Amino acid sequence: MHQAVGIIGSGYYVPERIVSNIDLENMLDTTDEWIWSRTGIRERRIAANNQVTSDLAVAAGQKALLDSGIEAGEIDLVIVATMTPDMPFPATACIIQKKLGLSKAVAFDLSAACSGFIYGVSVAQQYLQNGTYRTALVIGAEEMSRILDWKDRNTCVLFGDGAGAVVLQAGAKEREIISVHLGTDGSGCDLLKMTAGGSLLPASHETIDQRLHFLQMNGKEIYKYAAKAMAESTIIALNKIGLSPRDIDILIPHQANIRILEGLAERLKYPLSNVYVNISKYGNTSAASIPIALVEAEEAGMLKRDDIVLLTGFGAGFTWGTCVIKW
């Protein structure tokens, strides 16, 4: 028999610095109206020069631990979903393990871009269900500002920095994870990527001159995939447990673009008023997006006991995933 796995604590952190669309007007050939009408974004948070991804993750993790009421020594497993690690190695999770004093925990990073938090929760759930570990800390953390080309108005306006975290525990039947679905389509690899910095194109004068160490994205093509993939994943995850979209009390999707969220709601025939949206404040924070939104929704009193809460995301790779929680 698989054990129930539930969320016993959560927290998020966003940097203090706010960069508004008006600020970007002074840097780029763009306008507040252009950004807002196409993305739903008004502002985003940008990390301070002395803040690294692990700092944001530690702040979110500390809040999640405090919320859970457990001691650091009770954490057996740390999974950090990020595509902006402090450095290629060691894993940012190892750095976080040290900073938080989680000396007992196994720690590793997971790379699934904007779907990373869902992937991380799914992996942790398996370890907890089968009894390998009892308590896990799953963090989605990103400093997207570090990999943006601030001369490219089509991409730099979209992203922001932040971190969100949950503590999962075996045997916890409140806020229980009741269904998960994951998906991948590698044919989309070239549509959202950072080409240089790995074994394909190690850092060189040429890669720097060609600006290949920055995020590159084909937004129009991604738009065609994203809403469809999240909608199909949502249906599959719900069908596993005999539910349908009309059973969802609140839908918390990855915050990439308001048009994608509108397309998702339309495909599911689900009211947009029940879709949690905070993209106007933070932009796309990649793997941090869903946990930040989840914690915000809870703090706003929008999640009630026994609610069906659905998390769904889509990211580079392509990767996508859905997690259904009975709150």
- Residues annotated as part of the active site: 114, 254, 284
Q: Give Cα 306 to chain centroid, integer Å.
A: 24
CA distances from 194 to 18, 20, 79, 216, 314 (A): 25, 25, 22, 6, 17
Instruction: Note if the bond before 318 is cis, omega within 30 degrees.
Output: yes
Helices (H) and strands (E) in the chain, counts: 10, 13
The total of other beta-carbon atoms located within 10 Å of residue 217's CB is 17
Nearest Cα to 188, choosing from 119, 254, 110, 112? 112
Nearest Cα to 82, choosing from 257, 291, 323, 294? 291
The full DSSP string for 74-139 is G--EEEEE-SS-SSSSS-HHHHHHHHHT-TT-EEEEE--GGGHHHHHHHHHHHHHHTTS-SEEEEE
Separation CA 158–CA 43 (nearest Å)? 9
Regarding beta strands 77-81 and 106-110, do their DSSP bridges make them parallel or antiparallel, or are they unpaired?
parallel
Sequence-separated (6 or more) residues with CB below 8 Å from residue 79: 93, 107, 108, 109, 110, 120, 123, 124, 136, 137, 138, 139
